[in-house]
Amino acid sequence: MRNIAIVQARMGSSRLPGKVLLPLCSKPMLVHIVERVAAAAGVDLVVVATTQLSQDNAIVACCADQGIACFRGSTEDVLDRYYRAACFYEAERVVRITADCPCIDVCLIDLVIAIQADVDAGLAGLATGAGILGILPQSTGLFGFPDGLDVECYSRDALQRLWSLARRPSDREHVSPYAWRHPEAFTVERCFATADYGHHRWTVDYPEDYQLVTAVYEALWRPDWHFTMGEVLGFLAEHPEVYALNRMHVGNEGYGELWSV
């Protein structure tokens, strides 16, 4: 089974332009993410999927300099970009990662891959942040992982069917919401946390997010070790001033409506 991790990346973020190449410990954030994903036992190859826009030439150049596989595709239709990258690299299973998650946890990547394989799910993913969980009744007792540990895993068949069936622009921009909304058409598995971590925000969309992950990297990053979710939680518990840096931003903003019919 050829497992290809595809990291979607672009320079044109409206809130923090060029964020994917911002430095963390003297290395571009995107490179850190690729290295962390590549360390997962279940990943055979990591591919950065960017757009054809000239501003994303910088991403292509970074990948060439670092020896990272790179694919260029649609700007707005991210689902099409994923599907065509998966076909080009002959993926049998696709792991979806976004390039604004520099704290992505290697163990959780392998967990999601294992869940997708063990239950033969078309799609498996972590439940992250407070936004997505906000659509669930509080009485369920289901907990989210920190926003910024997002990982999904698709079978090649599921990705192809998503590509064929999804029509709403939001479905194609965010890749998977159509499948989550249509369990009658897709076998889906969502992995929940054992405690409520959904109030943590480790994704990078705003300058304050970048300040937080910079502090995390300066404290925890080592060339020979990929720090874990538990280590980040421990660091933030000891440094509430760092945890507070991005508290003004809500986790998974705008995602709730994507799961509505």
Q: Identify whether the C-beta of residue 68 lies closer than 8 Å to the C-beta of residue 48.
A: yes
Segment-wise mean pLDDT, segments of 10 residues, the chain, 261 residues: 94 90 97 98 98 97 98 96 97 96 97 90 85 46 88 95 94 91 89 90 96 98 96 98 91 47 43
In whole angstroms, what is the distance from residue 184 CA to residue 232 CA? 37
What is residue 183's predicted lDDT score, i.e. its pLDDT? 86
Q: How many other CB atoms are found less than 10 A from the CB of residue 36?
A: 20
Written as one letter, the residue type at 155 is: S
Count the residues in the chain. 261
Q: How many other CB atoms are found less than 10 A from the CB of residue 49?
A: 27
DSSP state for residue 225 in the 8-state scheme: B
Q: Identify whether the C-beta of residue 177 lies closer than 8 Å to the C-beta of residue 167.
A: no
What is residue 180's predicted lDDT score, i.e. its pLDDT? 87
Q: Identify whether the C-beta of residue 125 lies closer than 8 Å to the C-beta of residue 144.
A: no
The angle, 0 to 180 degrees and rounded to 10, between the axes of the packed helices 207-220 and 229-238 is 100
Q: What is the CATH number of domain 3-259?
A: 3.90.550.10
Q: Closest by alpha carbon to 130, among 44, 200, 230?
A: 200
What is residue 256's predicted lDDT score, i.e. its pLDDT? 46
176 phi/psi in degrees, rounded to 5? -105, -15
What's the whole-model pTM score? 0.92
In whole angstroms, what is the distance from residue 41 CA to residue 73 CA? 27
Q: Closest by alpha carbon to 126, among 102, 138, 143?
A: 143
What is residue 128's predicted lDDT score, i.e. its pLDDT? 87
What do you get for the CA distance between the two ends of the chain, in Å?
34
What is residue 250's predicted lDDT score, i.e. its pLDDT? 61
In whole angstroms, what is the distance from residue 103 CA to residue 40 CA? 13
What is residue 120's predicted lDDT score, i.e. its pLDDT? 74
In whole angstroms, what is the distance from residue 208 CA to residue 139 CA? 32
Instruction: State whether residue 182 is helix, strand or coil.
Output: coil
In whole angstroms, what is the distance from residue 177 CA to residue 12 CA? 23
User: Angle at CA 136, nearest 5°, toward 5 and 243?
Assistant: 65
What helix, strand, coil percent values describe the chain, rounded to 5?
A: 45, 20, 40
Q: Identify whether the C-beta of residue 121 lies closer than 8 Å to the C-beta of residue 187.
A: yes
